[in-house]
Amino acid sequence: MTYVGDYQPAYKISPRIGLEVIPVDEAIDPVTGDAKPWVFEVNLHKGAYVTEVLSDLARIGIVPAEDDIVANDALTTVLVRMAPRRGAGPRRRSPA
């Protein structure tokens, strides 16, 4: 997923992006060899307008399922599922 736009203090994408170890069988479909969609947690802070955030996401082609929106009095979390871009993943360094 690529975000291009103004900084939004009402929500942020998970700080764990790029830090998780993902087993190959969870990342790659064993039948097709295609990458499976990644799930990102988008945390909305108290006072954020959920409908506005969902509208912003829809504008760039991301429409979370109703079950992927979890809210309580302090926080709303939206699970965003995106297929990785071709070429995404760890970058390999060239031998020196």
6-22 residue pLDDT tens: 555 555 666 666 677 77
Closest C-alpha among 45, 75, 9, 44 to residue 54:
44
Contact 82, 40 (CB under 8 A): yes
Q: Is 52 helix (H, G, I), strand (E, B) or coil?
A: helix
pLDDT in tens, 18-58: 677 777 777 888 899 888 888 888 888 777 889 999 999 99
Q: What is the pLDDT of residue 13?
A: 64
Polymer length of the chain: 96
- Structure-block tokens of residue 56: 């912003």
DSSP element (H, E) containing 11: strand 11-13
